[in-house]
Amino acid sequence: MAGTYPNSGRVDWVDYAKGFCIVFVVMMHSTLGVELAAGQEGWMHYVVAFAKPFRMPDFFLISGLFLARVIDRDWRTYLDRKVIHFAYFYLLWVTIQFAFKAPGLAAEFGWERVGRAYLESFWEPFGTLWFIYLLPIFFVVTKLARVGHIPQGVVWLIAAGLEIATVNTGHTVIDEFAARFVYFYTGYIAASYLFDVADNVARERPRAIAWLFFWGALNGSLIANGYSEMPLVSLALGLLGAVAVITVASLMATTRAFRPLRYLGRNSIVIYLAFFLPMAATRVALLKTGIIEDIGTISVLVTLAGILGALVWFWALRGTPLRFLFERPQRLWMARKPRTEMQPAE
């Protein structure tokens, strides 16, 4: 497809879109965690519900945008960048999460059950880390389809069919693959079109803003009436929502007012890996002290703590021996030597 696909360098609106999505991901975990612990819902519950149709679809779509640049690399390099890279961070951070959660789990279920749960995390993604567990699978499946010369339209129709089927086996990898692969693959095959959409937003801002109002009304209405998770409707809302996020990100990229969001996008995987601890600690502190009573406000503060806490952790460890928490050491590379000693998480 003809378009304005960039050949190199970072693209501002992509970083804004990733920042937008990581905020909503942390918001979802923070809000639902606060509401579960408090036993009641707050006003943030409606914000999280509004974002549900597009939150993860857009994250996966963005993850596939630049795949065309690297998909034809040799298998050794491809697996190093797209499989081993994410496997390293998954194994490292699932161990860290278990280290923090093990005492509580052991008190409730016993240490034997904790050990079994840790082993199960190798095939059943643990907690918030399922996203980086699933990404390498998407990368491999997409390359296999290309190597096997399977027409892109056929792959997309199969992926769309899996999403529409609402697969529910109880196994995270199977269920989330069926629900999310279509968005990742769409990002890969429709990248040029999506970059054109982003370029057009800057030239036609009034039309873009009008489209956002239409989409917001449609998305909100379908959620309010209980139609958003129906077959075909969920797929349409996921794709439309992804385009809406791209539109918002492109508008943000035209001004300096939202530059912090771009920084969050550039470090989205860092936040994804590390937000769980400051989020949980802040939730416990606020609910136990009772300083703030409004559940929605607590949810906002917990969201901010999760994001900022992860970044503080990242900033504090840069340049120290502990930077391996966010950068893959050179000795764990299997392809040619990178330009720097370590490869950042993202």
What is the tens place of the pLDDT at every residue in 246-266?
Answer: 999 999 998 888 999 999 999
C-alpha 173/C-alpha 251 separation (Å) is 35
Do the domain assignments include residue 329? no
Range from 30-34, 199-203, 257-261 that averages highest in pLDDT: 30-34
- The residue behind tokens 């606060």 is 34
Average pLDDT estimate for 12-17: 93
Instruction: Kindly tell me if the per-residue pLDDT of 3 is higher than 80.
Output: no
- b/e map of 221-255 (b: 16 or more CB within 10 Å)? ebbeeeebeeeeebbebbbbbbbbbbbbbbbbbee
Share of the chain above pLDDT 90, in %: 80
Angle between the 44-51 and 205-224 helix axes, to the nearest 10 degrees? Answer: 110
Is residue 332 assigned to a domain?
no
| Residue whose tokens read 């470090």 | 267
**How long a stretch of residues is the chain?**
346
71 in any annotated domain: yes
Evaluate whether 32 touches 48 at the Cβ level (below 8 Å). Answer: yes
Three-class SS state of 7: coil
- d(C-alpha 159, C-alpha 180), whole Å: 8
Whether 22 maps to a domain, the answer reads: yes
Nearest to 208 by CA among 198, 217, 193, 219: 198
pTM > 0.75: yes or no: yes
pLDDT grade for 11, boundaries at 50, 70 and 90: confident
Q: How would residue 340 be classed by pLDDT, with cut points 50, 70 and 90?
A: low
In a domain, 320, yes or no: no
Strands 342-344 and 327-329: antiparallel
pLDDT of residue 1: 38
- The tokens describing 84, both together, are 């081993």
Answer yes or no: is 130 within a domain: yes
Query: What per-residue confidence (pLDDT) applies to 2?
Result: 36
pLDDT of amino acid 267: 94
Q: What is the mean pLDDT of the chain?
A: 91
Give how many domains the chain has, as a whole number.
1
Q: How far apart are CA 35 and CA 26, in angstroms?
A: 14
Q: What is the mean pLDDT of residues 276-289?
A: 94
Residue 310: what residue type? A
> What residue numbers bound the domain in which 106 lies?
12-313
Residue 275 gets which letter from DSSP?
T
Q: What is the pLDDT of residue 345?
A: 57
Residue 269 lies in a domain: yes
Is the confidence at residue 297, as pLDDT, over 90?
yes
Which residues have a Cβ under 8 Å from the Cβ of 19 and sit 6 or more positions away? 260, 261, 262, 263, 264, 265, 266, 268
- Domain membership of residue 145 (yes or no) is yes
The confidence band for 105, taking pLDDT boundaries of 50, 70 and 90, is: confident
- Tokens (6 digits) for 337: 């030597």
Alpha carbon of residue 27 to chain centroid:
12
More confident call, 343 vs 173: 173
Residue type, position 76, single letter: R
Over the stretch 139-197, which tens digit does the pLDDT of each residue have? 999 999 999 999 999 999 999 999 999 999 999 999 999 999 999 999 999 999 999 99
State the Cα–Cα distance between residues 217 and 315, nearest whole angstrom. Answer: 40
pLDDT band at 7 (very low <50, low <70, confident <90, very high): low
pLDDT number for residue 191: 95
* Cβ contact 60:177 at 8 Å: no
